[in-house]
Amino acid sequence: MVEEETKKIMAALSTLNPTQLRVLTHSILNLSCHHLHRLSSILSSPSLFSLTIHHLISLSPSSKSLLIARHLLSLLRLLLLHFHPQDRPHLSSGPPAIKLRDLDAVLLLLFICETHHHHPQTLLAGDPSEWRESLSKTFSHAMLSNLSEIGGYNGGVLITYAETVSRCLRFVRMVDSCSGGRMERKEAAASPATVVGLPTVEVSGGGVGLEYCTVCKEEMREGREVCELPCKHLFHWKCILPWLKKKNTCPCCRFQLPTDDVFEEIQRLWEVLIRAGGGGSFDF
Counting the structural domains of the chain, the total is 2
Q: What is the pLDDT of residue 1?
A: 43
114 and 196 fall within a common domain: no
> Is 249 inside any structural domain?
no
Residue 207: which CATH number? 3.30.40.10
- pLDDT interval class at 185 (50, 70, 90): low
Q: What is the pLDDT of residue 249?
A: 93
204-216 core/surface letters (b: 16 or more CB in 10 A; e: else): eeeeeeebebbee
76-105 core/surface letters (b: 16 or more CB in 10 A; e: else): bbbbbbbbeeeeeebbebbbeebeeebbbb
Q: Whole-model pTM?
A: 0.84
Alpha carbon 42 to its chain centroid, in Å, reads 24
Alpha carbon 107 to its chain centroid, in Å, reads 15
Are 56 and 105 contacting, i.e. CB atoms less than 8 angstroms apart? Answer: yes
- Using only C-alpha atoms, what is the Rg of the chain? 22
217 and 107 fall within a common domain: no
Q: Which residues, in sequence order, are CB contacts of 55 under 8 Å at separation 6+?
A: 101, 105
DSSP calls for 148-210: GGTT--SHHHHHHHHHHHHHHHHHHHHHHHHTT-GGG----PBPHHHHHTPPEEE--STTSS-
Mean pLDDT for 251-278 is 89
User: How many other C-beta atoms can be found within 10 angstroms of the C-beta atom of residue 187?
Assistant: 11
pLDDT(207) > 50: no
pLDDT(209) > 60: no
Quote the percentage of the chain above a pLDDT of 70: 82
pLDDT(38) > 60: yes
pLDDT, tens digit, for every residue of 103-123? 999 999 999 988 888 777 777
> Is 255 inside any structural domain?
no
List the domain range (segments joined by +) for residue 214.
192-244
pLDDT(8) > 50: yes
> Is 152 inside any structural domain?
yes
167 and 218 fall within a common domain: no
**Pick from 72-81, 85-94, 117-126, 159-168: least confident:** 85-94
β-bridge pairing 225-228 and 234-235: antiparallel
181 and 210 fall within a common domain: no
Q: What is the pLDDT of residue 257?
A: 92
**Pick from 63-77, 211-225, 228-242: least confident:** 211-225
81 and 202 fall within a common domain: no
> Is 284 inside any structural domain?
no
148 and 47 fall within a common domain: yes
166 and 200 fall within a common domain: no
Smallest CA-to-CA distance from 227 within 218, 219, 235 is with 235
pLDDT(211) > 80: no
pLDDT, tens digit, for every residue of 106-165? 999 999 988 888 777 777 767 787 889 889 988 988 887 665 444 444 567 888 899 999
